[in-house]
């Protein structure tokens, strides 16, 4: 497996130019807002989605100023949703440091998320990139619907596999799909290409989210224990769903009762993680993840061989084999 550094090589210059472009987009004349946005910039992640944007652009042409705009629009939307997600999930940690709502409270975090989202939409309008605006707005709609559906299902605990995939297709895969589509749209006027890249990105995004769901049941961190956060938040993801689907009716009811009433009890969380592991939930989820990743790779291989195609395939391998 290639490292991220090697995967980035075909788009190294684009990513270098992206850093100041993205930082400038987060600037504000309001002092407090500037402080919060600067903190957000300093605690940014690996910027996987801009990589999808630039590699998709490189696959179909030569990345340009509109590719920078596309990558920035995607990353602004991603940043806004992370800030809002931490409020929804009552999470006080993000990427190993304090979340925005932990430091500035929920009201400020919601407003910050709104501001970042508005900045991204305004960028597209300023450049009259209405096709970008359509793609990003559709992603906002899908991500919101996916999150709302997950909240609803977490309350009733009546999720099935079809609903699970609908949730992750909307709340996670839609943005990676948009990254691939908007990257292609920045270099070509052929509308069929962004549509195809969207479908490829959707499969890659589903694989990405399944990997995240698997992480919650695997040992990690200093204490070497799974976090079990999904269980604590009553989120029934694919590993747990497999356990429920392979359990006898009586055992299934007991498991659902434990999730509903004792989901924050550490002993119960550990018991459920152990059951998921023993019943092959992680292996089942891994198989599904690889299926979606392989489908995305196969579709990519229909395009001519190039450095960008190779890196895109390696990026998909990376997101399904990463350690965190």
Distance, in Å, from the CA atom of 201 to the CA atom of 238, rounded to the nearest integer, reads 20
**Secondary structure (DSSP) of 148-209:** HHHHHHHHH----HHHHHHHHIIIIIHHHHHHHHHHHHTT---THHHHHHHHHHHHHHHHHH
Give the pLDDT of residue 224.
43
- 122 CB-near residues (< 8 Å, 6+ apart): none
Residue 44: HSE in the Cβ half-sphere, 13 Å Cα cutoff:
20
CATH number of the domain that 157 lies in? 1.10.600.10
pLDDT at 258: 93
Contact 151, 172 (CB under 8 A): no
Q: Report the C-alpha gap between 94 and 90 in whole angstroms.
A: 11
Give residue 32's domain range.
4-321
- pLDDT for 26: 86
Measured CA to CA, the distance from residue 7 to residue 287 in angstroms comes to 24
Q: What is the pLDDT of residue 223?
A: 35
Helical ranges in 61-129 per DSSP H: 65-88, 100-126
State residue 265 phi and psi, 5-degree precision. -80, 115
Determine the longest span between alpha carbons in the chain, in angstroms: 60
Neighbours of 151 (CB within 10 A): 15
pTM of the model: 0.94
- Number of independent structural domains in the chain: 1
Distances in Å between the Cα of 53 and the Cα atoms of 47, 155, 267 are: 10, 36, 43
CA 136-138-140 angle, to 5 degrees, is: 70
CA distance 95 to 106: 18
Q: Walk along the chain (324 residues) and give the pLDDT tens digit of each residue.
A: 578 999 999 999 999 999 999 999 988 888 888 898 888 888 888 899 999 999 999 999 999 999 999 999 999 999 999 999 889 888 888 877 888 999 999 999 999 999 999 999 999 999 999 999 999 999 999 999 999 999 999 888 989 999 999 999 999 999 999 999 999 999 999 999 999 999 999 999 999 999 999 999 986 643 344 678 899 989 999 999 999 999 999 999 999 999 998 888 999 999 999 999 999 999 999 999 999 999 999 999 999 999 999 999 999 999 999 887
Measure the CA–CA gap between 7 and 274, rounded to whole angstroms: 36
Residue among 175, 73, 53 nearest 125 (CA): 73
- CA dist 304 and 143 (Å) reads 32
């Amino acid at each position: 497996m290639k490292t991220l550094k090697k995967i980035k090589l075909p788009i190294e210059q684009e990513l270098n130019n992206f850093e100041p472009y993205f930082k400038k987009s987060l600037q504000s004349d309001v002092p407090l807002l500037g402080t919060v946005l600067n903190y957000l910039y300093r605690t940014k992640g690996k910027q996987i989605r801009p990589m999808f944007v630039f590699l998709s652009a490189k696959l179909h042409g030569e990345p340009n100023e509109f590719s920078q705009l596309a990558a920035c629009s995607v990353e602004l939307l991603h940043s806004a949703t992370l800030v809002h997600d931490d409020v929804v999930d009552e999470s006080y940690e993000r990427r190993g440091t304090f979340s925005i709502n932990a430091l500035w409270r929920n009201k400020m975090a919601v407003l910050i998320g709104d501001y970042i989202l508005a900045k991204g939409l305004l960028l597209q309008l300023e450049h009259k990139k209405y096709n970008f605006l359509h793609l990003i707005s559709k992603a906002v709609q899908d991500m919101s619907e996916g999150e709302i559906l997950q909240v609803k299902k977490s309350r009733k605990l009546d999720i099935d596999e079809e609903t699970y995939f609908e949730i992750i297709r909307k709340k996670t895969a839609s943005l990676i799909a948009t990254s691939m589509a908007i990257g292609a749209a920045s270099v070509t006027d052929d509308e069929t290409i962004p549509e195809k890249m969207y479908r490829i990105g959707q499969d890659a995004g589903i694989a990405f989210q399944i990997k995240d769901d698997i992480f919650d049941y695997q040992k990690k961190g200093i204490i070497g224990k799974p976090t079990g956060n999904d269980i604590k938040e009553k989120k029934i993801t694919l590993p747990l769903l497999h356990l429920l689907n392979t359990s006898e009716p009586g055992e299934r009811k007991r498991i659902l009762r434990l999730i509903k009433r004792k989901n924050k009890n550490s002993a119960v969380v550990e018991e459920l993680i152990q059951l998921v592991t023993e019943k092959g939930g992680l292996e089942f989820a891994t198989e599904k993840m690889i299926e979606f990743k392989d489908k995305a790779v196969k579709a990519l291989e229909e395009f001519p061989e190039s450095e960008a195609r190779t890196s895109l395939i390696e990026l998909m391998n990376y997101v399904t084999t990463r350690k965190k």
